Chain A
Amino acid sequence: MEPVRVVTGRALPLGRANVDTDQIIPSHWLKRIERTGYGLGLFEAWRKDPSFVLNDGRYRGANILIAGANFGCGSSREHAVWALQECGFRAVIAPTMADIFKSNAIKNGLVPIELSADAVSRLLAAVQADATTSITVDVAARTVTAPGVNASFALADFLQTQLIEGLDEIALTLRHEREIAAFETKRAEWLPRVR
């Protein structure tokens, strides 16, 4: 995973609430066995509408997505994160996000930022009024800044470290192999084994 410390750029004002991962990447795209090749599937159904914000030339090149509450709900598909990243997004800002989406995002270096509904509204308004509005997400400082907006977000220390250092979580866990093996000797006898 690529380390990510600061994301600066323009934003796409999606705004909608309850955006489920089926909308972010429809299921027929999930037949691929690779981690790549999902960009064209991003918001595939909504994109067919010429007035959909992703089709608005003013927002081309945006690398921050601003959405409504409960972003990324539904299916656990990590493909949703991959699709967003392939389309250039490095951070998502919303009042709240679904648990699995948030976790998937962190593991791929897509910064998930939950801000107050008020701060999200102000960012949306700023970006809708002026598509060139520059937003800066500072992972180390846990802040989002834009003209007239200075908001901070919560992010657990270990998640912050994971993003900033781009850590290989499996390698970290394998350092505790001895504790895992010790735990395994104490598991109940009746627990099932499939082979």
Chain B
Amino acid sequence: MRASAGFAARSIASRSGHTFRVGSTLSEKVWERHVVRRAAGEPDLVYVDLHLVHEVTSPQAFEGLRLAKRRVRRPDLTLATMDHNVPTNDEPAEDISARQIDAMARNAREFGVRCYPMGDPNQGIVHVISPQLGLTQPGMTIVCGDSHTSTHGALGALAWGIGTSEIEHVLATQTIAQTKPGTMAVTVEGVLPADCAAKDVILGIIARIGTAGGTGKVIEYRGAAIRALSMEGRLTICNMSIEAGARAGMVAPDDVTFAWLEGRPFAPKGALWENALDDWRSLVTDAVASFDRDITIDAGALRPYVTWGTNPAQSVTIDGAVPDPDALPADARESARRALRYQELVPGTPVRDIAVDAVFIGSCTNARIEDLRLASEVVRGRRVRSGLRALVVPGSMRVKADAEREGLDRIFRDAGFEWRDAGCSMCLGMNPDVLRPGERCASTSNRNFEGRQGPGGRTHLVSPAVAAATAIAGHFALPADL
């Protein structure tokens, strides 16, 4: 029934859009399955399978419910945690953060929403805990008041960030009214060089398509190099889809996905697991389907990337140098000049000659166990460059516990890193982990916007391996340089 409605709508769109398309892409399939209501001239009303909530963007939404005397329609499909402004050391939260943390706890209690608060073994960055618990599953629709919700697409879910008004709408109705997004394929063929990571793939993609390259569209990441990635790597790539402006990012579920999910606390069990698997295997883009936009990238040509500017598209490879704005395309020059002024960088400076004051290994982009293993291998038996501040902030308390079981905490501490509790921390500077004005940081996070890690701070986005090597060298470096 729903499928035929979707087909009818497609035919109409095709007639007016001058292109005839058959078959469906992965994102279209998931979207069509969730359409509760479709009417001409209106956005689709789409059902939300999982609504993730955190302390920063939700208080005004709960207040809206209270004022309108509305309830949360499906507390059983809503999960809250605290991640953005929680302290990651033993210090208590600052007063104003504590007020927001308390509000989250109070709202969760009042509206019957399950919340993993500070101190809970399941607490952590919302985009790390949901996949880890097995809550994020193929074919689901997932929303959260956070733009990095695109992360969950790594498991074949359609997941996107929403604003506070939309949070209130989802809390009250378990649906969201939105126009169907466009489609885009990014095919990464070939084999990734050994010193490159998933982070370098997504930074390479953003360098190619720009910060608005995916606007209005869901990007499906495809190709041999994507298939060869671990689930952690795919999570990193989908996470930064929003940095290319995309509504969401997805990878079709495959055996990597299923092996990763099986046995996790909220994953289906027994016969339900088998039923789910049968269904999940159908979640692929039809061979005859086409995308609104389709680009191909050669993985073999990628190198480790370092951003030099103040948006994630302003990057060069680690073997490169700070660009001369005059040598860039005309429409990129003014932003580049402004960025170089802010970053206090001189055109022509080799990337490896840029010294840093701080290194941050963390965030929903790169703070999973695989990231910490990789970084710990680089710093094992070495020392952080004297005078440099280096932090490891695990993505969740479970990641932290797993890392400690493997002894990774000792390796980091022995090298001179601070070993913290889970949270967003220095990714966005909402807790006391901030850069001081003028400080330069190699960060495994996702945004190098002006002041993102603290007013006046300067951010360079890199992979965990480059961050770790940079902490030891004191300037941008690859592990092989040490």
- Residue ranges of A at the interface with B (Cβ–Cβ < 8 Å): 16-18, 20, 22-23, 26-28, 30-35, 45, 69-70, 73-79, 81, 96, 98-100, 103-104, 107-108, 156-158, 169-170, 172-174, 176-177, 179-180, 183-184, 187-195
Which residue of A74, A78, A180, A187 is within 8 Å of B165 (Cβ)?
A78
19 A–B contacts from the bound complex (CB under 8 Å): A17-B334, A20-B447, A28-B429, A45-B451, A45-B456, A70-B212, A73-B245, A75-B147, A76-B57, A76-B162, A98-B245, A100-B162, A156-B41, A158-B41, A169-B165, A180-B36, A194-B135, A195-B75, A195-B76
CB atoms of B37 and A77 under 8 A apart: no
Instruction: Give bound CA distance, A79 to B272, whole Å.
Output: 42
- B430 beta carbon closer than 8 Å to chain A: yes
Instruction: Give bound CA distance, A176 to B42, whole Å.
Output: 13
Q: How far is the CB of A80 from chain B (nearest CB, A)?
A: 9
- B296 beta carbon closer than 8 Å to chain A: no
Contact of A17 with B335 at beta-carbon distance under 8 Å, contacts A70-B245, A156-B179 already known: yes
12 A-B pairs besides A73-B245, A74-B447 with CB distance below 8 A are A22-B447, A30-B56, A76-B146, A76-B161, A100-B162, A103-B163, A104-B166, A177-B173, A180-B36, A188-B276, A195-B75, A195-B76
- B43 beta carbon closer than 8 Å to chain A: yes
Q: Give residues of chain B (418-433) contacting chain A, Cβ–Cβ below 8 Å.
A: 428-430
Instruction: Give bound CA distance, A74 to B97, whole Å.
Output: 22
Q: How far is the CB of B185 from chain A (nearest CB, A)?
A: 19
> Top 7 nearest A-B pairs by Cβ distance?
A190-B268, A33-B59, A104-B163, A107-B165, A78-B163, A192-B266, A78-B164
Which residues does chain B contribute within 8 Å of A180, judged by CB atoms? 36, 45, 47, 73, 173-175
- B291 beta carbon closer than 8 Å to chain A: no
- B103 beta carbon closer than 8 Å to chain A: yes
- B389 beta carbon closer than 8 Å to chain A: no
Instruction: Give bound CA distance, A33 to B163, whole Å.
Output: 14
Contact of A192 with B103 at beta-carbon distance under 8 Å, contacts A30-B56, A76-B161 already known: no
CB atoms of B335 and A108 under 8 A apart: no
Instruction: Give bound CA distance, A65 to B335, whole Å.
Output: 19
CB atoms of B212 and A98 under 8 A apart: yes
Interface range, B side: 35 or more
Q: How far is the CB of A146 from chain B (nearest CB, A)?
A: 24
Contact of A31 with B430 at beta-carbon distance under 8 Å, contacts A76-B57, A158-B41 already known: yes
Q: How far is the CB of A34 from chain B (nearest CB, A)?
A: 7
Q: How far is the CB of B170 from chain A (nearest CB, A)?
A: 10
- B279 beta carbon closer than 8 Å to chain A: yes
Contact of A104 with B36 at beta-carbon distance under 8 Å, contacts A173-B45, A189-B272, A190-B275 already known: no
Which residues does chain B contribute within 8 Å of A31, judged by CB atoms? 56, 85, 96-97, 99-100, 430
Contact of A192 with B134 at beta-carbon distance under 8 Å, contacts A69-B212, A70-B245 already known: yes
Q: How far is the CB of A154 from chain B (nearest CB, A)?
A: 12
CB atoms of A194 and B76 under 8 A apart: yes
- B195 beta carbon closer than 8 Å to chain A: no
- B172 beta carbon closer than 8 Å to chain A: yes
CB atoms of B311 and A26 under 8 A apart: no
Cβ-Cβ contact count across A and B, 8 Å cutoff: 198
Contact of A26 with B36 at beta-carbon distance under 8 Å, contacts A157-B41, A188-B276, A194-B266 already known: no
Instruction: Give bound CA distance, A31 to B338, whole Å.
Output: 29
Which of A34, A170, A174, A176: most chain B Cβ within 10 A?
A: A170
Which of A74, A157, A189: most chain B Cβ within 10 A?
A: A74
Q: Give residues of chain B (178-204) contacting chain A, Cβ–Cβ below 8 Å.
A: 178-179
CB atoms of A191 and B41 under 8 A apart: no
Contact of A176 with B45 at beta-carbon distance under 8 Å, contacts A31-B99, A103-B163, A189-B275 already known: yes
Which of A23, A31, A73, A176: most chain B Cβ within 10 A?
A: A31
CB atoms of B137 and A192 under 8 A apart: yes
Smallest Cβ-Cβ distance to A191: which chain B residue = B49
- B215 beta carbon closer than 8 Å to chain A: yes
Which residues does chain B contribute within 8 Å of A32, judged by CB atoms? 96, 100
Q: How far is the CB of B382 from chain A (nearest CB, A)?
A: 33
CB atoms of A176 and B245 under 8 A apart: no
Instruction: Give bound CA distance, A127 to B100, whole Å.
Output: 41
Contact of A194 with B212 at beta-carbon distance under 8 Å, contacts A76-B145, A156-B179, A188-B279 already known: no
- B70 beta carbon closer than 8 Å to chain A: yes
Which residues does chain A contribute within 8 Å of B276, judged by CB atoms? 188, 190
CB atoms of B449 and A22 under 8 A apart: yes
CB atoms of A28 and B165 under 8 A apart: no
Contact of A99 with B447 at beta-carbon distance under 8 Å, contacts A31-B85, A31-B97, A73-B245 already known: no
